[in-house]
A and B are shown apart, each in its own frame.
Chain A
Amino acid sequence: MFDDLSNGTSPKGNPPELSRDEELHAYREMLLIRRFEEKAGQLYGMGQIGGFCHLYIGQEAVVVGMQMAVREGDQVITAYRDHGHMLVCGMDPKGVMAELTGRRGGYSRGKGGSMHMFSVEKNFFGGHGIVGAQVPLGTGLAFANKYRGNGNVSLTYYGDGAANQGQVYEAFNMAELWKLPVVYVVENNKYGMGTSINRASALTNLSQRGASFNIPGRQVDGMDVRAVKEAGEEAVDWARSGKGPYILEMLTYRYRGHSMSDPAKYRSKEEVDKMRHEHDPIEMVRQRLIASGRATEDDLKAIDKEIRAIVNEAAEFAQTDPEPDVAELYTDVVRV
């Protein structure tokens, strides 16, 4: 899995340690995403969630580490595997889950669904369903930051599948040309739907895809929240200081299928199991906390319990909240 790192540009060796509070924060945030997604999978199986539902399980360290590297006002935009991004931006799990079930208390009042959620208040700009389209959009957020001189940075996420879309490179070119404050975070989970990166990409080191625009890039162990945070800080500082865009390739892995309807015939169960058992982002933090004596099993159990309560409350709300009023069919088509 991390063979790529040997020819990458990321420094070898262990990333800087986190403080106790940071480790606990990362543990808690990643666990929230994991439990939330497991619950979403359950609700999907029960028919409570319809359509497409793309789970983030396995990739939690990426958004949690990146969010630890930014400051208030920085924006986040991504494609449709977006539940984790929303939760780390501080969006209410109840509102996210209720959108998944298409209820009126959802962030888009039930009109967006899993792939289309936004929170201007939390600087989360979606939630986009067209592979790669969010990259120019996120670059536009950065353009607005520069236009206003507000010092904010746009975190623009995309996957290894989107990395082959032409508009990604149109955006790279303008971002570097105009030195826009954007960090491109490519979440390389090794599969664009059912096609492995080796079958889809001529150059599989996605951190180098900015080379022809002179955009620096790094490969990062996206399963290690410490490595993500450290790389995120370097990239965000670069962008914020006016040097233009930066590409971070997060080497990560999704445990679940592309979407809930994925039969997963394209990879072996052993591959998935090996990743879960040897590189699980949450388990690695848990083991460090216990081994260092910074937390006890009981401390972590208390966090688990608290997270389960939050997720259960969200699920309960998402199943009992009414569907949108039928009058909502024609609202919000245009701003009046």
Chain B
Amino acid sequence: MATQVLMPALSPTMEEGKLAKWVKAEGDDVRSGDVIAEIETDKATMEVEAVDEGKIGKILVPAGTEGVKVNTPIAIILAEGEEAGASLNGAGKTNGAHAPAEAATGGGEAARAPVDVRVKETREDAAPAAWDAASEIPEGTELVQTTMREALRDAMAEEMRRDGDVFVMGEEVAEYQGAYKITQGLLDEFGARRVVDTPITEAGFAGLGVGAAFAGLRPIVEFMTFNFAMQAIDHIINSAAKTHYMSGGQIDCPIVFRGPNGAAARVGAQHSQEYSAWYAHVPGLKVIAPSTAADAKGLLKAAIRDPNPVVFLENEILYGIAGPVPKGDDWLVPIGKAKIARPGKDVTIVSWSRGMVYALDAAKQLEAEGIDAEVIDLRTLRPLDIDTVLASVRKTNRIVTVEEAWPVCSVGSEIVAQVVAKAFDYLDAPPTKVSGEDVPMPYAANLEKLALPNAQKVVEAVKAVCYRS
């Protein structure tokens, strides 16, 4: 019976990809396990293998086609004796190919390296809508539409060109070109001395990086995700954050720990934790969590130049989202400065990283209902720019914080506490937090959705503090 070969997904978040190449032609015999095609996304290439034996009856999607949706039929495999055009047996209409995760990750580490994070820019929760690039960028600056992934890579490359002491190390950063392709191309330009593949040994390489920073180098340590940095958190806190103080100011530790933080999609509890509050708690660290490509680039460059240990929290879902980034290699964003992403007068919404997607979407919906929300993107979580938040609350008299992290002892909790202590008399409603639910991240799609915040939850919280619900 004829079998359809469907476009496979490289990861839970992939929606479409490019059919790069057909390895087999129509009429070729294939056996189970034969590579029949190659598909590509913006971060990974993968081989499509035949699962059934037979003959390639028809190629439905020609090589070079972009934007092929997952599960689209791409070819038909005919069983022995069948002719091209044979009618498809209903029961046989299965996916005749599969894409083994090993082929994409190279190391059988599928769980550690969800291989694709392409998010279509038209996706519902995509680019923060109202980002006002002009507010910080000098007039006349040429802006280039850039994904956050490219912005982060450019930031590292520019700083590595500028300073020979800057190097990047981590798992799969060099030859694999980055588990999330953030370090793509760096090995080619800077070589293995400065782009260092490490064994899977987080405590070891985090400590080694800190030692190298004590000796005056400027390491960028990539964690494949911050979930794995829990293996190394002793070095981030006890070795990196505290030594400047413990040495009476003698020892500097100019190091950046960076990588994706928070939930991706459907990767379960151990790969879906949001660590903002963990690191923001620690004196001696600076903690950054940008939501736009421009901020990601400017802040990562600032972090690499900073003489202190910086924890730079990225978000996998935001990697593929493009935004305007100033052209050239002198774009820096100051650490510790929040940004008013959307000015407004009725309520203050404070967020950062992926929470900004929900916040800005909510603000748009609220506008239609006559509520003019001011949205603040913290960008840096330590030092916290509480002054910008307080000034806004004194104007709006209401505040809602939005975060993906757990609610207990969260960054939102800290903001609420400070607002209550410092702007109590200005408040017309109880400060309110929208956060992830207080549970380990569930795997099931419906439960995962429930566990995370969304724009609707923000809308409801804002209406409640505006007494409009």
Contacts and interface: CB of A to CB of B under 8 A. Distances in A.
Contacts of B238: 129-130, 133
Interface size class of A (residues with CB under 8 A): 35 or more
Q: Which of B198, B209, B217, B251 has the most CB of A within 10 A?
A: B251
Q: Which of B203, B207, B243, B249 has the most CB of A within 10 A?
A: B207
Interface in A105-147: 106-112, 116-120, 125-130, 133, 135-145, 147
A114 to B, nearest CB: 11
A134 to B, nearest CB: 8
Contact of B248 (A106, A130, A133, A144): A106
A335 B306 CA distance: 9
A332 to B, nearest CB: 4
A171 B208 contact: yes
A28 to B, nearest CB: 27
Nearest to B255: A140
B319 interface: no
B236 to A, nearest CB: 11
A243 B55 CA distance: 56
Interface size class of B (residues with CB under 8 A): 35 or more
B134 to A, nearest CB: 30
Nearest to A77: B211
Contacts of B245: 111, 332-333
Contact of A118 (B201, B215, B251, B286): B251
A319 to B, nearest CB: 19
A137 B211 CA distance: 4
A135 B247 CA distance: 18
Interface string A141-183: 1111101000000000000000000110011011001000000
B207 A108 contact: no
B307 interface: yes
Contact of A133 (B207, B216, B244): B207
A139 B284 contact: no
A108 B247 contact: yes
Contacts of B216: 144
A331 interface: yes
Contact of A140 (B213, B234, B251, B308): B213
Contacts of A139: 204, 207-208, 211
B246 interface: yes
Q: Which of A116, A137, A138, A144 has the most CB of B within 10 A?
A: A137
Interface string B165-194: 001000000000000000000000000010
A112 B248 contact: yes
A111 B248 contact: yes
Contacts of A331: 249
B126 to A, nearest CB: 35
A14 B165 CA distance: 46
B257 to A, nearest CB: 14
A203 B251 CA distance: 36
B246 A112 contact: yes
B74 interface: no
Contact of B207 (A126, A135, A147, A173): A135
A50 to B, nearest CB: 15
A141 B307 CA distance: 17
B206 interface: yes
Nearest to B254: A335
Nearest to B169: A143
Contact of A174 (B201, B239, B246): B201
B234 to A, nearest CB: 6
B90 interface: no
A291 interface: no
A75 interface: yes
A136 B235 contact: yes
B247 A140 contact: no
B211 A138 contact: yes
Contact of B284 (A126, A127, A129, A334): A334
B199 interface: yes
Contact of B201 (A130, A140, A170): A170
Contact of A333 (B206, B214, B284): B284
Contacts of A116: 243, 246-247
A42 to B, nearest CB: 25
A147 B308 CA distance: 21
Contacts of A127: 246
Contacts of B286: 334
Given A136-B235, A147-B217, A126 B247 contact: yes
Interface string B379-393: 000000000000000
Contacts of B243: 116, 118, 126
Given A111-B245, A136-B235, A147-B193, A125 B211 contact: yes
Interface string B232-272: 00110011000111111111100000000000000000000
A140 B248 contact: no
The 9 closest A-B pairs by CB, nearest first: A140-B211, A136-B207, A170-B204, A144-B215, A109-B248, A137-B211, A108-B248, A116-B246, A332-B249
Given A118-B251, A129-B238, 20 more contacts: A109-B249, A120-B251, A126-B246, A127-B246, A136-B206, A137-B214, A140-B208, A140-B209, A141-B214, A141-B215, A142-B211, A143-B217, A147-B193, A170-B201, A170-B204, A171-B204, A174-B204, A174-B205, A177-B199, A332-B245
12 contacts: A120-B250, A133-B207, A136-B204, A136-B211, A137-B207, A139-B208, A173-B204, A333-B244, A333-B283, A334-B244, A335-B252, A335-B307
